[in-house]
Amino acid sequence: MYFCLYSGEISEATIKRLPIYYRNVCSMEAEGFDKVTSSMIAERSGNTGVQVRQDFFSCGGAPKYEISELKFWLEEKLGLQKKYKSVIVGAGNLGRAILNCDEYKTEKFFICAAFDNNLMFEGMEINGVPVLNVRLFDKYLKENEIDIVIIATPASAAEKIFGIATDNKIKGVWNFASVDLKSTEMTQVSSVHISDSLMTLSFKMHTKPQQ
């Protein structure tokens, strides 16, 4: 059974919640659940059943009960039914942390190469990913079909790397640099500012009433 179709625009807040739903649906499937409800998903996602149903409705409707169908539907909405090839620019501490985290190196998202301007890293492999000189970055994009560029450089270098990515019509940029990069007509940007999360935590701690 499916919710009714809805053709309105999907809010940014809903888009950010879909991966959380997907992660929890996958967990429940691994635990042996055959069917789930919006309330079950909400409980694990720190949300409400009403919000889950509204989010699914705004995305065009989803299977209500069968977990395999719901997982497939979420994969379709999140674009996870294809494989994405990516490269990372910046092999410093943050870049190496990303490269060494197998959560990012899945059958859906594959990091093909890393780039850095530090000659110490040139010719190395980090978790099986070759590190190349950043001077080869533009040439590499022109010669290979890359979907995503991950930016893990200082802010001062991020704009130039982003410019090279957009010039090569890269579809997605995952930005870890402490600078705001704006999506273009061709290139979508998702920024991860770690300090923002820390300041959000600080705000919550500061405003929480003392017991």
Q: Percent of the chain beyond pLDDT 90? A: 70
CA pair distance 198, 201, nearest whole angstrom: 5
pTM assigned to the model: 0.83
Residues sharing a CB contact under 8 Å with residue 100, sequence separation 6 or more, in sequence order: 126, 127
Domain range list for the chain: 12-77, 84-196
User: Which 3-state string (H, E, C) describes 54-86?
Assistant: HHHHHCCCCECCEHHHHHHHHHHHHCCCCCEEE
CA pair distance 3, 25, nearest whole angstrom: 18
pLDDT score of 210: 65
CATH node for 84-196: 3.40.50.720
The third-level CATH classification (topology) of the domain covering 12-77 is: Arc Repressor Mutant, subunit A (1.10.10)
Convert the pLDDT of each residue in 122-166 to its tens digit: 899 999 999 999 999 999 999 999 999 999 999 999 999 999 999
Q: Is the CB of residue 57 less than 8 Å from the CB of residue 5? A: no
Looking at residue 208, the DSSP 8-state letter turns out to be S
User: What average pLDDT does this structure show over 62-68?
Assistant: 78
3-state secondary structure of 105: coil
